[in-house]
Amino acid sequence: MLRKIDRKIICMVAAFFTILAFSTASQIMTNEAALAVIDTDNTVIINIVKLGLNYEKAYGVNSGILLFLLAYFYHQVSKKKENLADRRLNRITCIGGFIFSFFMVFGNSFFYLNSWDLIFYGKFQMFISVINFIGYFWLFQNILTFLLLSLKGKKKGQEETIDKEKKDKFFNRHPILFYTLCFLICWLPYIIIFYPGTMNMDSLFEIEQYLGEIDWTTHHPIFPTIIFGIFMKLGSFYLSNDNLGLFLNNIFQIFLGAILLSYSIHYLYKLTKSKKIKYGLLLFFAFFPIWPINFYTEVKDIYFSMAILLYMIFSMKFIVANGNLNPKEWMVYLLSMIFVYLFRNNGIFIILFSFPFLAIVVKKMEKIKIITCSILAIVFCMIFTQIYRQANDIKKGCVAEALSIPFQQTARYVMEYELTEEEENTINKIIDIKDIKENYNPEIVDYVKGKYKQTTATNEDLKEYFIAWFNMFLKHPAVYFEATMNSAYGYYYPNKTENKDSFAQFTIDIPAHINKNNFELQFLPDTKENRQIIERSIYTLRNMPVIGLLFSCGFYTWGLIVVTLILWYFNRKKEMVLLVPLYVIILVCTASPVNAFVRYMQPVMLTLPFMIGWMMYGIKYNKFSIKN
C-alpha cells in the first residue's frame, strides 16, 4: 500500500502528464523552429527549446487550475480502489485507457496535419507522442475506473415502479400516445418554420430516377426511392403542389419517428423501471435539436436509422425472452430485418453479422428460429429487389461505390510518390492521374471516386489496377494505412467536427442539373429569419462544452466502447451481443467515402441512448458476478 504522500506525488505527476497532453503543439517541432529562438549547435539545447515550444500552451492560470483539479480527481480514484484486489477492473480500464489514448494521439495528428507526422516525424515527435499517450492514458483509465466503481457501488434493485404511480393519469394509461404528443408538440416549431421540410440532394436524384427522368440504378436503395417517388408524385402531380410532395414524406417521417421513439422509451421503461432513463430519453429526443431537423429531412438515412432502432428493440425482446417471442413479435422482428436490408444497400451486413451472435445466447430451438428468421429476411429482400429491378429495368450501381478505400489509397500514393510508366498507364485506365491530383481530398473519397471511368473501364482494366495497387502497397505500405486512417479518423476522434453536409440538413438541396422536372420546392419566405436563428443557435450549441460532443461522430463511438467495457466488467455477455450491429455500422462508416459524416452515423447516434438504458438493465436487474 502506498503511503499517502507517495500517492499524492504520483497523482500530481499523472496530472502533469495529462496537462502536457492537453497542451501539445498542433505542428511539428523542427530544428529550424528552435534555431529561430536560439542560435546554437548543441543538440541538447535544441531539443530543450523544441520541448518548450511544443508545450508553450501549458503556460497560464487555466492549466494550473486544471492540474490541481486533475490531481485531486486522480487521488480520489486511487483512494477508492486502495483496498480492492480487483485485477479485472485494472485490466479492463487499462484496455479502455489504451484505446482512447490511441484515438486521441493519432486523431490529433490527422486533425491538424492530415497525416501521422505529429507521431512519426523523427525521434523527437515520437518522444512527444509517448508523453502525450501517457497523459491521456492516465486520464481515461481513471475516468473508467471511477465510472465502474460508481456503478458497482450502486445498490442492485429497481427504482420506483409503475405500480406506485397513480393509474388514473393519462400518461400512465396511454404512455406511448403521451410521449408521441410530447414529441410532436416540442417539434412543432421546426415543422412550421421549416415547412415543407428540408431535403438532401440524393433524395431528389432518387425521385427523378423513380419518375424516369434519370436512369435508375441500385446506387441508392430501391425501397426509399419508391417511397420518395410516390410521395412526390402524389403531391406534385395529383395535388398540384410540389411542396406538398416533400411535406407528405417529411411529416410521415416525423410521425413515424415520434411513434417509434415513444414505443422504444416505453419498452425500456418497462424493462428497467427507471424514471431517470425514461425522462432522460424523452428530454434528449424532444429537445436536442438535431432530431426534429433530421426527422424532418427527406433522406434515406432517416428511414434506415429508424429501421435499426426497431431491430435493436426487438433484439432486446428476443434476448430478454430467451428467444420465446410470440407470433406477432416474430412478425415485427422479421419486418425490422427486412427494413434494415431494404433501406440501405449495406444493411445486409448488419443482419449477417448479428444473427450468429444472437443465436449463441439462446437454446437450440430458439437458435433455429433466429437463424431462420434472419435468412428468410435476407432471401425475401434479395428476391424482391431482383424482381423489381427486372420489372423496372433498374441497372446495377457503379462498381466504384465499393472501392472507396483502394481509390483513396491510390490517390494518396499518387500525391506522395513518383509512379512508374506502367503504374501511370494502369491507373489512367481507371481514373486520370490529372483528376486525382486536382480533386484529391484526404477526408472525402467522392471527389476522386466521382472521376471513375465507368463507361470505358473494363473488368480487365480493374484486374490490372488491383495488381498495380497491390504492388504499390508492397513498395510503400505505410501510405495505404495513413490514407485509410485519414479518411476515417473522425469516426473515432470526438474533437473532429462533422464533414460535408454538416450534422443536419437546413436547406432544400435541388441542383438544377438533377431537377429534371423543375420542381418548385422552397421554404415559406416569411420564415427565413426564424430559420437562420434556429440554424445559427444550433451551431452555437455545437460549440458549447460537453453539449457540443453530442454532435460528434467520434463521441458516439466512444460511448459504444464505454458501454461495452462496462458490460464486459459486469460479465453481461448476453447484453453485449446487442452491440454487434452498431459496431458493424461503425466499420461500414470506416470504409465509407466521407470522414465524420453524421448521416452515416445517425443509426448509432439514434440507438446509443437506448443502449445505455439496456446496459443499466443488464447490470442492475440481472444476477452478475465479477471474476478477478
What pLDDT sits at residue 401?
79
Cα–Cα distance measured from residue 235 to residue 246, given in angstroms and rounded to the nearest whole number: 7
* Helices 87-113 and 477-486, packing angle to 10 deg: 90
> 80 falls in which pLDDT band (50, 70, 90)?
confident
Helix (H, G, I), strand (E, B) or coil at 160: coil
Cα–Cα distance measured from residue 447 to residue 412, given in angstroms and rounded to the nearest whole number: 13
Cα–Cα distance measured from residue 26 to residue 467, given in angstroms and rounded to the nearest whole number: 38
Contact yes or no for 185/364 (Cβ under 8 A) = no
What pLDDT sits at residue 41?
87
> 81 falls in which pLDDT band (50, 70, 90)?
confident
* Burial state string for 112-145 with b = 16 or more CB within 10 A and e = fewer than 16: ebbbbbbbebeebbeebbebbbbbbbbbbbbbbb
> 4 falls in which pLDDT band (50, 70, 90)?
low
Is the pLDDT score of 622 beyond 90? no
Lowest mean per-residue pLDDT among 1-5, 31-35, 378-382, 477-481? 1-5
What pLDDT sits at residue 196?
97
Cα–Cα distance measured from residue 181 to residue 590, given in angstroms and rounded to the nearest whole number: 37
Is the pLDDT score of 263 beyond 90? yes
Contact yes or no for 350/312 (Cβ under 8 A) = no
Q: What is the mean pLDDT of residues 611-617?
A: 95
Q: What is the mean pLDDT of residues 466-486?
A: 95
Q: What is the mean pLDDT of residues 335-358?
A: 95
pTM > 0.95: no
Cα–Cα distance measured from residue 615 to residue 23, given in angstroms and rounded to the nearest whole number: 35
Contact yes or no for 616/274 (Cβ under 8 A) = yes
What pLDDT sits at residue 333?
97
Is the pLDDT score of 159 beyond 80? no
| CB-count exposure of residue 338 (10 Å: 0-12, 13-18, 19+) | buried
Is the pLDDT score of 456 beyond 60? yes
* Cell numbers standing for residue 146: 471511477
Q: How many residues does the chain have?
A: 628
What pLDDT sits at residue 174?
86
What pLDDT sits at residue 364?
85
DSSP string, 380-397: HHHHHHHHHHHHHTPBPP
What pLDDT sits at residue 457?
87
Contact yes or no for 285/179 (Cβ under 8 A) = no
> 84 falls in which pLDDT band (50, 70, 90)?
confident
365 or 310: whose pLDDT is higher?
A: 310
Cα–Cα distance measured from residue 70 to residue 140, given in angstroms and rounded to the nearest whole number: 12
Q: Terminus-to-terminus CA distance in the chain, angstroms?
A: 19
Q: Find where cell 489509397 sits.
A: 409
389 or 80: whose pLDDT is higher?
A: 389
- For the chain, percent of residues with pLDDT exceeding 90: 84
What pLDDT sits at residue 448?
86
514-525 residue pLDDT tens: 999 999 999 999
Q: What angle do CA 268, 273, 277 make, to 5 degrees?
A: 60
Is the pLDDT score of 3 beyond 90? no
DSSP string, 531-568: HHHHHHHHHHHHTSTTGGGGG-HHHHHHHHHHHHHHHH
Contact yes or no for 325/285 (Cβ under 8 A) = no
Cα–Cα distance measured from residue 537 to residue 547, given in angstroms and rounded to the nearest whole number: 13
225 or 439: whose pLDDT is higher?
A: 225
* Cell numbers standing for residue 553: 461522430
Cα–Cα distance measured from residue 520 to residue 501, given in angstroms and rounded to the nearest whole number: 22
Is the pLDDT score of 167 beyond 80? no
What pLDDT sits at residue 156?
45
Is the pLDDT score of 400 beyond 90? no
Give the single-character DSSP code of 163: G
Omega before 196 cis (within 30°)?
yes
Rg (CA), the chain: 27
Helix (H, G, I), strand (E, B) or coil at 199: strand
- pLDDT, averaged across the chain: 92
503 or 131: whose pLDDT is higher?
A: 131
What pLDDT sits at residue 449?
85
Is the pLDDT score of 259 beyond 60? yes
480-494 residue pLDDT tens: 999 999 999 999 999
Is the pLDDT score of 27 beyond 50? yes
